[in-house]
Amino acid sequence: MNTESSRQELIALTNVSQNALANRMTLIALTILDCILSAAYLLEGVKGNRGWLYVGGVVLLAIVPFVLGWGFYGIRKDHAAVKHVVTVGFAMLYTFVLFTGANDLVFTYAFPMLIIVTIYLDRRCTLVAGIGVAVLNVADVIRKVAGGQFVAEKLPLYEIQVFVSALIVIYIVMTISASLKYQAINGARLTLEKDKTTEMLDRILTISGNMTGNIERVVGQMNELSDSVESTLSAMAEVQSGAAETADGRDSKSCL
């Protein structure tokens, strides 16, 4: 029963699309992040720290990729558009809050999405998204400095914003590269094992063929031997019959 259950689980896994799974996990992560950001900005609106027009803009930018992403996922779970909708949509939201946010830690909003996008194992997509995040953060620091917002006390924070953004991108790309390398290594190992198994099967088939040929030859020789024995027995029977006839003839002459 356990063996059958394991087999069914393996069959079920083989029917799962990797892209469909990545889409689902990414959309769940986007949903959680958008809900948190929307709730945070709605709270800011309630407190009066942000105007409702601004809050509405943030919520709208959060909802649009959420709705589009789940819509494409509903059409086809492995739809390639999901990845692009999520990355581009969140990039627009991130750009807006980064350049209009009053909190200096807004730049950290991008890190959860950069991490979750790695699930696609798409080095190019992640690299483009990461470089975009790094460039936006550099541009944001330049904007603050040029806009007169620079103060000596905030210099370490600006350095952290730039360097941490760059390091996150570098490490994420390294992680994807390592994952792809692991896949290539495992694929190579599986190929070698397959080749060894195929070679072993070929040898077994060759040996079996040789054994079959030898058995056929032995059977043929046994048949020939059987024919020879039968011929010999037949000849001996004829000789015995002839000898008996000769003896009978002698006995008849003796009686005369």
Query: What pLDDT, in 10s, does the model give residues 216-232?
Result: 676 676 777 676 666 77
Residue 99 has pLDDT above 80, yes or no: yes
Q: What backbone phi and psi angles, to 5 degrees, belong to 117?
A: -65, -20
Write down the pLDDT at residue 43: 92
pTM over 0.85: no
Q: Which segment of 85-94, 127-136, 155-164, 237-246 scores lowest on mean pLDDT?
A: 237-246
> Average of pLDDT values for 234-246?
64
Residue that the structure tokens 């400095």 belong to: 145
Q: Are 118 and 176 in contact (CB under 8 A)?
A: yes
Distance of alpha carbon 62 from alpha carbon 41, whole angstroms: 11
Write down the pLDDT at residue 247: 55
Cβ neighbors of 145 (< 8 A, separation 6 or more) are: 158
Taking residue 114's Cβ as centre, other Cβ atoms within 10 Å add up to 21
Q: Which segment of 13-17, 58-62, 157-161, 251-255 scores lowest on mean pLDDT?
A: 251-255
Tokens representing 139 are: 């541009």
> Average of pLDDT values for 83-89?
91
* Confidence tier at 166 by pLDDT (50, 70, 90): confident
Q: Are 113 and 33 in contact (CB under 8 A)?
A: yes
Which of 17-21, 55-59, 218-222 has maximum average pLDDT?
55-59
Q: Are 157 and 59 in contact (CB under 8 A)?
A: no
Write down the pLDDT at residue 239: 63
> Average of pLDDT values for 122-127?
86
> Average of pLDDT values for 98-119?
86
> Average of pLDDT values for 63-78?
92
Distance of alpha carbon 82 from alpha carbon 75, whole angstroms: 10
Residue 60 has pLDDT above 90, yes or no: yes
> Average of pLDDT values for 107-118?
87
Tally DSSP H helices, then E strands, for the chain. Answer: 7, 0
Write down the pLDDT at residue 183: 79
Residue that the structure tokens 């020939």 belong to: 224
